[in-house]
Structure 1
Amino acid sequence: MRDAIPSLTIVVPCYNEAEAFIYCVDALKNILIDLISKQKIQENSHILFVDDGSKDNTWLQIKQAAGQSSYVQGIKLSRNRGHQTALIAGLSAVDTDVCISIDADLQDDTKCIEQMIDKYIQGNDIVYGVRNDRSTDSFFKRNTANIFYGSMSAMGVNQVENHADYRLLSKRALAALLEFKEQNLYIRGLIPLLGFHSDKVFYTREERIAGESKYPLKKMLALAIEGVTSLTVTPLRLICGMGFLTCFLSFLAIIYILIAKFSGHAVEGWTSVIISIFFLSGVQLLSLGVIGEYIGKIYMETKQRPKFFIDEKTND
């Protein structure tokens, strides 16, 4: 149990969220005011919006909200860097006892924020927000999500199923997360590696409050590839296994061909040869593609480039 009342930062990455912003800021401000009145968080608690190079007037709305309320702060990245980098940028700016990350679309139940604070006070350094009902998702979205989590688990990526980036981190858990310096970020796979005491809160996924989803199928596939190649070498091991299997099948084929040759039953034709060439060529190209993905990540990591640049802050 923790006795001291914590200060809280709610980190909200935003990309073209002009339509949803007004609903998001009002909902989160009401949560802060309620928790402060209940003396569960300190009065210096606030919301930190991170504009990930939006093309609409999201940043203008953030600045206006910050000028009207002491509960709102904002930072603007110099260009669009993606959700995971924007989230890390926001987390890097946190200077409070705890932080909670949440998306601006309000599909994650904001009422769970109080439950997360309660679990932090009970002694947890990490509290995961986990969806236990995706009935508001389309059939396609729901099933691709299940395939996504199943595939990631099969590849050896340790993550909490049906948990995205809605979570609480204590100050020491956040400090540990920021120790990871890799360029290729998959935060939901890094959090379990921290090893601190954790718990979960469960909620029903709501419909998007406004605007369009920022995670279509293309980005979901990119995120899955990022997670697998950043956290596990299972694909490389699969290539090794596939190589052994191919060699074994080729060895059997050689024995069969020699037996047929010496018994006088060899059948002339190109079918088997062509099939073999195409099969082995496909295996080689696939293997080179997977290996190339890993080599590309090594190349990017060795450059040690900055993950982001902050263009503007609301308190400048």
Structure 2
Amino acid sequence: MNLAIVVPCFNEQEVLGTTIDHLRELLNQLIAEGLVDPESTITFIDDGSKDKTWSMIETVARCDSSMHGIKLSRNRGHQNALIAGLMTVRGDAIISVDADLQDDLSAIRDMVLKYREGAEIVYGIRVDRRTDARFKRMSAEGYYRVLRLLGVDIVFNHADYRLMGYHAIEALKQYGEANVFLRGIIPQLGFKTENVYYRRAERFAGESKYPLKKMLALAWDGLTSFSSLPLRWITLLGFTVSMFSFAIGSWALIARIFFDGSVPGWASTVIPMYFLGGIQLLSLGIIGEYIAKIYTETKRRPRYIIEKMI
């Protein structure tokens, strides 16, 4: 099999040299064992880095015919950089892995073996989240459970470390959406799948390219791209609040007509008004998010632009 490994990179100069050495050693080992073709490649996708990442990629590509690089014209985000690699690189199977060396590279051999046994997609799944901070661990696992609750077909504790065969890649090319969330798209492709389990290590060098803000943005993209339940919940919430308001209004009317009384104080007026106002603003915000996604999709702008390939 001709194996292609794609590695999205963004400002990874501190760790990239070590990543290159580890991947080269792994690829040579797979070739020596006869598991992959000697023409197998490793391609680094530079997602608009501001440091020396691209110059390092150019240097290694000139010296090693198995190493290649794709430079995007500007930073487009991890998911789009990954899509650029998957759509551009050729091979019987493509493995995507991050450049930070947190994903156990030895799992690649297991993925290759699963593919040779007939799997078209092989997911790399974390055994646990011991290396994560408590907040990140709880929020990440909670997020996967929420997505499943909303009906999204997603692999628990799987990020973007996976193998995809030629047929799966060709099927993925039919998805032209601008709001990319590969963890939700890939399970929709079908095909035979297998899992490979590994332990995630601490980041080898540099800093995380997924701070809290980007993690929340990715989580929200995944939620709104694959489930319409929030919109249905708005309808249910509106119905519930309307019934509650109707009941309160009926109680006030009955108290005034039959018991010659009235609802005392301003709280009975102001609190429901604030409550309803907050519900309306929240509902409009959620609806606005879906409309914004429709707006983005209808423009059909390219997800990435390749500036240079080596």
Per the TM superposition, whether the score is higher than 0.5 is yes
Measured against aligned partners, the alpha-carbon deviations of 1:108-138 in whole angstroms (never above 9, x if no partner) come to 1100001001100111100000001211122
1:306 aligns with 2:302: yes
User: Could you tell me how far apart the structure 1 residues matched to 2:277 and 2:219 are?
Assistant: 26
- Residue 270 of structure 1: CA displacement? 1.3
Match of 1:182 in 2: 177
User: What CA distance in whole angstroms lies between the structure 1 residues aligned with 2:268 and 2:101?
Assistant: 57
Please tell me the residue identity of whatever aligns with 1:290: I
| Amino acid aligned to 2:217 | A
2:291, 2:238 → 1: CA distance?
A: 19
Q: Does 1:168 align with 2:163?
A: yes
Give 1:267 shift. Answer: 2.8
How many Å separate the matches in 2 of 1:250 and 1:138? 43
SS in 2 for 1:285: helix
Alignment of 1:131-142 (within 5 A): 131-142=126-137
CA contact (8 A) 1:98 1:169 kept: yes
Counterpart Cα distance in 2 of 1:199 and 1:241: 39
> TM-score, length-normalised on structure 1?
0.96
The equivalent position to 1:228 in structure 2, one of 223, 227, 231, is: 223
Structure 1 residues 133-142 or 24-33, which shifts more?
133-142
Tell me the CA shift for residue 163 of structure 1: 0.2
What is the one-letter code of the residue matched to 1:189?
G
What is the rounded CA distance, in whole Å, between the counterparts of 1:61 and 1:222 in structure 2? 30
Structure 2 counterpart of 1:299, one-letter code: Y
1:235-283 deviations in Å (ceiling 9; x for gaps):
1011111011111111211221122112123233211111111111111
After TM superposition, list the pairs within 5 Å mapping 1:19-34 onto structure 2: 19-34=14-29
In the TM superposition, residue 140 of structure 1 has moved relative to its aligned partner by 2.1
Per mean C-alpha deviation after superposition, the further-off stretch among 149-158 and 276-285 is 149-158
Determine the C-alpha separation between the residues in 2 that align with 1:168 and 1:274.
Answer: 57
Residue 154 of structure 1 and its aligned partner are, at CA, apart by: 2.3
Q: Which amino acid aligns with 2:13?
A: A
Q: CA deviation at 1:150?
A: 2.1
Distance, in Å, in 2 between the alignment partners of 1:72 and 1:99 is 14
Mapped partners of 2:297, 2:35: distance in 1: 41
Is residue 294 of structure 2 the alignment partner of residue 267 of structure 1? no
Question: In the alignment, what sits opposite 2:53?
Answer: 58
Once the two structures are superposed, what CA deviation does each residue of 1:171-230 show, in whole Å capped at 9, x if it has no partner?
000110111000000001000100111010001110101100111111111001101111
Match status 1:147 vs 2:173: no
Match of 2:117 in 1: 122
Amino acid at match of 1:11: V
How many Å apart are 1:156 and its aligned residue?
A: 2.3
Letter in 2 for 1:253: I
The answer on whether the counterparts of 1:152 and 1:224 sit within 8 Å (CA) in structure 2 is no
Aligned 8 A contact 1:132 1:202 in 2: yes
Partner of 1:294: 290
Distance apart, 1:313 and its partner CA? 1.2
CA distance in 1, matches of 2:143, 2:56: 34
2:34 is equivalent to residue 39 of structure 1: yes
Amino acid at match of 2:276: L
Give the letter for the 2:169 counterpart.
Answer: L
CA contact (8 A) 2:252 2:263 kept: no
Deviation, structure 1 residue 144: 1.9
1:7 aligns with 2:7: no
Task: For 2:36 and 2:60, locate their aligned partners in 1 and report how far apart those are by CA, in whole Å.
Answer: 21
Structure 2 unaligned spans of 5+: none
Pairwise CA distance, 1:152:
2.0
* Identity rate, percent: 51
SS in structure 1 of the partner of residue 160 of structure 2: coil
Match of 1:3 in 2: none
Mapped to 2, the partners of 1:95 and 1:203 lie a distance apart of: 26
Is the 8 Å Cα contact of residues 179 and 221 (structure 2) preserved in structure 1? Answer: yes
Alignment of 1:68-217 (within 5 A): 68-217=63-212
Q: Size of the alignment, in residue pairs?
A: 309
Instruction: State the TM-score, normalized to the length of structure 2.
Output: 0.98
Give the alignment's Cα RMSD to 1 decimal: 0.9
